[in-house]
């Protein structure tokens, strides 16, 4: 209900103006797929003409929907998530949904707490990352969620929709490239392998060695943390070995700075003394001197797929079994790699 020129307009006034039933106006307001385009446009013109605005609180009490979508990502500081979130928010805003954003800090307790709070606030759908795809409590929370849920860059829980980059293919491309240059001692930095990106990157790295008839040195795989502090410390330690790696594949998307600082502190020049590949393209990779060879995928496309999949579930436009969309990854070759000295 809304006041205009001293009068309160109701949903009945909208129906009368559009020459449709009150139930039809309600279906338009709730984005029901059964309404034809012609009727939807007629109702929307009447709403605009009268200046009608529904009472969101009353509407959510009458229906099961609040027109709120929640998104929980690992960290606000990761540049790679920006285009993903912006594209998803754009799609939800166009569909008249409020987009709520939260950070999980890659912490199981936070993830479980957020899922409970999202349910309490009756959000219509959730898109999120989780820290451990093998954790029984997290799996149960995801599978028993009271609202549709899309997992971001996760693949193992197949009972819900997922959108993920093809990190295995990307890691295979990066490692193939380094092997083709003659590198054999290739350090790999990834996060916890209980999550899809790290697990897939390790698999792709090993795929490349296997295809070349080689065995990687397991001591060169560092998979305990995604922090730059960890990457700095471990890169420095590896470079002090009697036989240090000749190439560094920094597969975590936000770990590059730590490796670069460690190499600089050791007096090693990227592209001359050691080759470097980044697992995710960024301004840092592109604008460094020399520019860093990096893996690249369309993060906005991931956000677009995730948002559309979630909208399809929320609005009832699909009842298909859970789907997985995998976004391709490609290698952008720059100046940071050359044959070992």
Q: 280: how many CB neighbours lie within 10 A of its CB?
A: 25
pLDDT at 3: 47
| For the chain, domain boundaries | 2-62, 68-165+299-327, 167-297
Show pLDDT as tens, one digit a residue, over the chain (341 residues).
Answer: 444 444 677 888 889 999 998 888 888 887 777 888 888 889 888 888 887 766 544 454 444 578 999 999 988 777 778 889 999 999 999 999 999 999 998 899 999 999 999 999 899 999 999 999 999 999 999 999 989 999 999 999 999 999 999 999 999 999 999 999 999 999 999 988 888 899 999 999 999 999 999 999 999 999 987 788 999 999 999 999 999 999 999 998 789 999 999 999 999 999 999 999 999 999 999 999 999 999 999 999 999 999 999 999 999 888 899 999 999 999 999 999 999 98
- What pTM value is reported for the model? 0.79
| CA neighbor of 65 nearest in space, from 27, 102, 34 | 27
8 A C-beta contact, residue 98 and residue 120: no
Q: 101: how many CB neighbours lie within 10 A of its CB?
A: 14
Tell me if domain 68-165+299-327 and domain 167-297 are identical in fold: yes
Sign of the dihedral defined by the CA atoms of residues 152, 168, 264, 230, in that order: positive
Alpha carbon distances (Å) from 247 to 155, 179, 269, 284, 340: 29, 10, 12, 18, 8
8 A C-beta contact, residue 148 and residue 313: yes
The answer to whether the peptide bond before residue 160 is cis (omega within 30 degrees of 0) is no
Structure tokens at 105: 């800090």
pLDDT at 35: 86
Q: For residues 83 and 39, what is the distance between their CA atoms, to the nearest angstrom? A: 35
pLDDT at 7: 61
pLDDT at 262: 97
Q: Provide CATH code, domain 2-62.
A: 1.10.260.40
| CA neighbor of 201 nearest in space, from 216, 183, 180, 181 | 216
8 A C-beta contact, residue 104 and residue 74: yes
pLDDT at 59: 52
As beta bridge partners, residue 270 has 274
Q: For residues 39 and 54, what is the distance between their CA atoms, to the nearest angstrom? A: 19
Structure tokens at 167: 């990190």
At the topology level, CATH places domain 68-165+299-327 in Rossmann fold (3.40.50)
Q: 182: how many CB neighbours lie within 10 A of its CB?
A: 12
8 A C-beta contact, residue 214 and residue 184: yes
Residue with structure tokens 């003409």? 49
Question: Class of 167-297 per CATH?
Answer: alpha beta
E strands, 214-292, in order: 221-222, 247-250, 275-278
| CA neighbor of 179 nearest in space, from 210, 217, 212 | 212
DSSP 104-163: -TT-HHHHHHHHHHHHHTT-SEEEE--S-TT-HHHHHHHHT-SS-EEEES--S-TTSEEE
């Amino acid at each position: 209900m809304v006041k205009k020129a001293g009068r309160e307009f109701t949903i009945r006034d909208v129906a009368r103006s559009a020459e449709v039933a009150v139930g039809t106006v309600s279906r338009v307001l709730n984005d029901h797929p059964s309404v034809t385009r012609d009727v939807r446009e007629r109702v929307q013109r009447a709403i605009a003409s009268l200046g009608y605005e529904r009472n969101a609180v009353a509407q959510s009490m009458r229906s099961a929907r609040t027109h709120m979508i929640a998104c929980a990502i690992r960290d606000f500081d990761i540049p790679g998530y920006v285009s993903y979130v912006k594209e998803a928010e754009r799609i939800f805003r166009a569909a008249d949904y409020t987009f709520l954003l939260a950070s999980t800090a890659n912490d199981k307790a936070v993830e479980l707490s957020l899922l409970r709070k999202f349910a309490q606030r009756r959000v219509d759908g959730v898109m999120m990352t989780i820290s451990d795809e093998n954790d029984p409590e997290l799996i149960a929370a995801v599978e028993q969620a009271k609202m549709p849920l899309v997992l971001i860059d996760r693949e193992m829980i197949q009972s819900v929709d997922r959108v993920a980059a093809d990190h295995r293919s990307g890691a295979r491309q990066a490692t193939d490239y380094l092997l083709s240059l003659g590198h054999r001692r290739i350090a790999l930095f990834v996060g916890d392998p209980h999550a899809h990106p790290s697990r897939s990157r390790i698999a792709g790295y090993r795929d490349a060695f296997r295809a070349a008839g080689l065995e990687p040195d397991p001591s060169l795989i560092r998979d305990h943390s995604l922090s730059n502090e960890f990457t700095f410390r471990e890169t420095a330690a590896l470079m002090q070995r009697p036989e240090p790696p000749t190439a560094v594949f920094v597969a975590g998307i936000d770990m590059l700075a730590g490796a670069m600082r460690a190499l600089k502190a050791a007096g090693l020049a990227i592209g001359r003394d050691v080759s470097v590949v980044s697992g995710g393209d960024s301004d840092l990779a592109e604008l460094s001197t020399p520019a860093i060879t990096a893996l690249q995928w369309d993060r906005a496309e991931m956000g677009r797929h995730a948002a559309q999949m979630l909208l399809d579930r929320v609005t009832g436009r699909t009842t298909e079994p859970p789907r997985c969309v995998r976004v391709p990854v490609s290698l952008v070759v720059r100046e940071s790699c050359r044959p070992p000295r």
